[in-house]
Structure 1
Amino acid sequence: MNIFLYASIVLVWGSTWLAIKFQLGDVPASVSVCWRFALAAMAMALWCTARGQSLRLSRGQHARLALLGSLMFCGNYELVYEAERYLTSGLVALIFSLLPLFNIVLAALLLRRPLPMRALLGACVGVTGVVITFWPDIVAFDLAKTGSVGLVIAVGGTLLASLGNMVAIRNSEHGVPVLPGTAIAMAYGALCCAVLVVIRGDRFVIDLSTPYLLSLAYLALFGSVVAFGCYLTLLGRIGIERAAYSALLIPIVALIISHFFEGYEWGARLSFGLLFALGGNAITLMKSPLRKRAAAAVPAGGAA
């Protein structure tokens, strides 16, 4: 059962990066993200009801969840969707694998948590991996080039996700229940996206093609609900730190899928970059107090 849960998490969250590609087209990113998390919030709420978990929370908890939803389930995902217009899904997943490193640095800055030397070493190793992978775009940085634009957008999305993690840690400390809180935060994320759609003057449209609808259902139900449920179940069976190592395999799965479905070619630079990026994560995740808190509040860092 543990192997099944672990494999489900890695395969689902590793494949959601490619599924996002099928959401790109005539439908604006904000609209697609809105549909996704409105559907996911309803499914998660039904799951909570079936498990007998109340969705009634205090006003203060709703305020915190609204902030979490705007960061984690709106701004973060909108930037991820946009980044995939410029980069292959596997490369966006690789950049997003730096999330645990962002978490530890922001926790030191915003939550006044200690910043151990192990975390600093992990951050340096992980960032080195991304620099190796994107070295040609970095040395020839130009916002007129798609690689440079995609890199900036993906890093921005990772930063917003990390800020969302900081809010999630505070929510956990204030006793916000995980599953009901996630369902409500997803609903607020969908609402935030809807507000952005109105402000920008976009239209609430939907692509009725089979690839769009199937990918939307997959992202909402499997990527946002089923995988999250598997992750929480695995936490209870093998512990937070061991379950968190799923974040090391997710980018590998995403890059393999990108190779076969998007034609992305592996090379020596990507291999070395991936080795450093995942090595930095491994160093950071080892016996990390922050990871214990964060994993109890939000899903694994490699989720899309």
Structure 2
Amino acid sequence: MPSSTQTSEADTGQTARSSTVVVAILFAIVCLTWGTTWLGIKLAVDTVPPLLAAGLRFVIAFPLLYLIARAQRAPLLFPEGQGGLFALIVVLYFALPYLLINAGEQYVSSGLAALLFSTMPVFTVIFSVVILREPIWATQLVGIVVGFFSLGMILHEQGVGFAYRSLFGAAAILLAALLHAYCYVTTKKRGAAIGIVTFNTLPIGIAGLALTLVGLIVERPDVSQFSATSLGALVYLGTFASVGGFLAYFHLLKQLSPVVLSFVFLIFPVIAVILSGLLEHRSVSPAFAGYCVVLIAAFALTKLQIGRLSRARA
């Protein structure tokens, strides 16, 4: 018969393997849900105006997040003295960026939108240098330069020139990525002690309510024109993409290093491009595919800290 020590070691090994499998499944869920988000937005704004679509997505997500907050006994309000940060998160993290994304996806493909938004970690590096006085590394600088060159070539390959409609769509999504990066860095500086559930629940509810009301007043939507596909996409975005992806991502934050987990932002654009090509009937040229590979590889370089070019200030 096996000894108690052998049994204990076997149980430990089995637990470790089970944990690895769970982590792998959750990582895949995050990549798939966030990769399909862009197609979901594209389908949602097909018949639902962008302001209203952004608001309804959050209105759907809020009750689920509220239940999670109650179950975890997490506070809904930010700590005293953090009212300014709370307003910033409501406006610059939820309301304005998602309005820009929904508006932008009316003029560019869902795959291109995901690639544009994948610049967010690069903007985070830049804001970290400017706001947090963190050092910048040679690999990060090379990755930023090569990455944005590749992005420019991708826009050229996709025909996004100086035509107002397509240029507006690309600029709107890039601005959304920049705003998200600014909020991440500002939160790191001013609100690192705020819990993840607290950070998201009430801001997403207020942003959703505000966007929905403004959308109803400004856009005057004809509800009879909303398709079942668009409404289904909104339900998917509010539940699986927002809440499901959110839970999986922040569970992984406790299991993986931030550097490893940040590669999610390099994987989900690939999924989005593939889905965009399949379901939006857009051909993917060899040049476009090549620039996508260079873009993702360049942005991966920004996660390697080799060759310090500046030092953090006290």
Give TM-score scaled by structure 1 length.
Answer: 0.85
Q: Which amino acid aligns with 1:226?
A: G
Give the superposition deviation at 1:151.
2.0
Q: 2:268 aligns with which of 250, 254, 258?
A: 250
Q: How many residues align?
A: 284
**Which residue of 1 is the match for residue 57 of structure 2?**
36
RMSD, aligned CA: 2.3
1:236 match: secondary structure? coil
- Per-residue CA distance 1:25-60 (angstroms, 9 max, x = gap): 443211111111122122111112112323243343
Q: Unaligned regions of 5+ residues in structure 1, if any?
A: 289-304
Q: Who is 1:167 aligned against? A: 186
Amino acid at match of 2:114: A
The aligned counterpart of 2:163 is: 143
Match of 2:235 among 209, 214, 217: 217
Partner of 1:296 in structure 2? none
Q: In structure 2, what is the Cα distance between the partners aligned to 1:154 and 1:179?
A: 25
Question: How far off its partner does 1:77 sit?
Answer: 1.0
Instruction: Determine if contact 2:60/2:238 at 8 Å carries over to the other structure.
Output: yes
Evaluate the alpha carbon distance shift between residue 212 and residue 135 of structure 1 in structure 2; reply closer, same or farther with a 3 A threshold: closer
Q: What one-letter code is carried by the residue in structure 2 that aligns with 1:128?
A: F
Q: Does 1:83 align with 2:107?
A: no
One-letter amino acid of the structure 2 residue matched with residue 40 of structure 1: A
Mapped to 1, the partners of 2:78 and 2:206 lie a distance apart of 14
- Where in structure 2 are the equivalents of 1:16-27 lying within 5 Å? 16-27=37-48
Q: 1:30 touches 1:197 (CA, 8 Å); kept in 2?
A: yes
Task: Give the match's secondary structure for 2:134.
Answer: coil
Identify the residue that residue 110 of structure 1 maps to in structure 2.
131
Q: Which of 61, 72, 82 is 1:61 aligned to? A: 82
Determine helix, strand or coil for the equivalent of 2:191: helix
1:67 and 1:167 in contact (8 A); partners too: no
Give the C-alpha shift of residue 2 in structure 1: 1.3
Q: Provide the TM-score with structure 2 as the length reference.
A: 0.82
Q: Which amino acid aligns with 2:91?
A: S
Deviations 1:143-182 (A, max 9, x none): 34x4323222222222222222233323433x21111211
Deviation at residue 66 of structure 1 after TM alignment = 2.1
Match for residue 201 of structure 1? Answer: 218
User: Partners in 2 of 1:244 and 1:11 — Cα distance?
Assistant: 15
- Deviation at residue 110 of structure 1 after TM alignment: 2.9
Give 1:164's aligned amino acid. Answer: C
Q: Secondary structure at 2:254's aligned position in 1?
A: helix
Q: Where does the alignment leave 5 or more consecutive residues of structure 2 unmatched?
A: 1-21, 307-314
Query: Partner letter of residue 251 of structure 1?
Result: P
Pairwise CA distance, 1:6: 0.8
Q: How far apart are 1:186 and its partner, in Å?
A: 1.1
Q: SS of the residue aligned with 2:255?
A: helix
- Match runs of 1:5-24 below 5 Å: 5-24=26-45
For residues 88 and 71 of structure 1, what CA distance do their matches in structure 2 show? 24
1:196 offset after TM fit, Å?
4.5
**Is contact 1:96-1:154 (8 Å) kept?**
yes
Q: Tell me: CA distance 1:171–1:186, structure 2 relative to 1, closer, same or farther (3 Å).
A: farther
Structure 1 partner of 2:114: 93
Q: What CA distance in whole angstroms lies between the structure 2 residues aligned with 1:208 and 1:120?
A: 46
Contact 2:46 2:230 in 1 (8 A): no
| Letter aligned with residue 162 of structure 1 | A
Measure how far apart 1:107 and its partner are. 2.1
